[in-house]
Amino acid sequence: MALPIVVVMSAAIQLAVDRDTSWRVTREGSGVATVAVRQEQGEVVVLAGTPSAEKPYRFDTLEAADAFLSDLMTSFSYLGCDIAATTD
């Protein structure tokens, strides 16, 4: 079940180079986290956490950010969370 998420994440982060991309993570209908990807000053930045306490994770390459996102989303999936793209 994790494979489709990894494939979606890889495609999504590649789109994030040109535009911001974000996801909402829920479990049993309740919000668990938000995840967003942006490009800032030549870095790929992944913001993860709750809307009131997001933490930035900075990566020099798209591949490093993609690996981080794949692991993060796979972990949410194993915990029984639902992940949906948002349109901010």
CATH fit for domain 2-86, picks 1.10.600, 2.20.140, 3.40.50, 2.60.40: 2.20.140
Q: Which amino acid is at 25?
A: V
- pLDDT tens, 20-45? 788 999 999 999 999 998 888 888 89
The full set of domain ranges for the chain reads 2-86
Query: 33 CB contacts (<8 Å, ≥6 apart)?
Result: 24, 25, 48, 49, 50, 76
Rounded Cα gap, residues 81 and 9, in angstroms: 15
- pLDDT tens, 46-75? 999 987 898 999 999 888 888 898 899 899
Which residues make beta-bridge pairs with 31?
26
Torsion angle (degrees, nearest 10) of CA 78, 1, 37, 16: 170
Residue tagged 């930035």 (tokens):
56
